Amino acid sequence: MNKQKWILCIAALVLIGGAGTFLAYLQGHQRLGHPAVKTTASADSHRLQVELPLQALDYTSEPVEISKSVLDVLPPDTSFGHRHYQAADGFQTDINVVLMGSDRTSLHKPQICLSGTGWNIDRTDKETVRMERPLAYDLPVTKLILSEEKPGSFKGAKGVCNAGLISPTSPPVLREMSKRHSNA
């Protein structure tokens, strides 16, 4: 190789090494913002407990324990909140909140978890949910129409999942994300 090719090769290696060092520095000094939902410290120092309301509108609720399989699969700094709500007329809905920590592998599409827990995704629509407080904006959500086919469930169970990403720069909101849909 001539001198010019050696210089280009060395320059490329220096740039690659410099970029790798810079990225390692950024990863080591990453700081997470405050969650966009209410949280409290949990017994596990790596996780926060996402606080969901005990009662919303005419719905009563009970907490749902996060399964060991979920805890084992997601990174140890992933935080959760999960409650099962039921209206007086028997209508039921679950609200789940998952907060990623510094390991971003906990962020994934809800289709992965829903399919893994026995739900069939019959239809997917893009919609928006209008948020009025603390300031007005449209929250983009993915609406999934579901049917359940898992052992122990009765045939014909239906569900609607509205999944939206609320980031630390979004207004802190907790809204009714699951509605009675006549076309579901």
pTM surpassing 0.75? Answer: no
Give the closest residue to 59 by CA, choosing from 113, 33, 95. Answer: 95
pLDDT at 178 over 80: no
Question: Could you tell me the pLDDT band of residue 19, with boundaries at 50, 70 and 90?
Answer: very high
pLDDT at 69 over 50: yes
Q: In this structure, what token pair is assigned to residue 156? A: 């014909």
CA distance 77 to 26: 19
pLDDT at 51 over 90: no
Quick one: pLDDT at residue 139? 81
Q: What are phi and psi of 38, to 5 degrees?
A: -75, 130
Between the CA of residue 14 and those of 6, 9, 11, 27, 31, what are the distances in Å?
A: 12, 9, 5, 20, 28
CA distance 163 to 142: 5
The single-letter code of the amino acid at 106 is S
Summarize pLDDT for 88-137 with one digit per residue, the tens.
998 888 888 888 777 767 677 778 777 777 778 888 888 888 888 777 88
Share of the chain above pLDDT 70, in %: 73
DSSP, collapsed to helix, strand or coil, labels residue 72 as helix
Contact 78, 47 (CB under 8 A): yes
Q: Which residues pair with 180 in a beta bridge?
A: none
Question: Could you tell me the pLDDT band of residue 151, with boundaries at 50, 70 and 90?
Answer: low
For CA atoms 96, 101, 104, 106, the dihedral sign is negative
Summarize pLDDT for 24-36 with one digit per residue, the tens.
887 777 666 666 6
Give the closest residue to 124 by CA, choosing from 98, 178, 161, 95. Answer: 161
Mean pLDDT estimate for the chain: 75
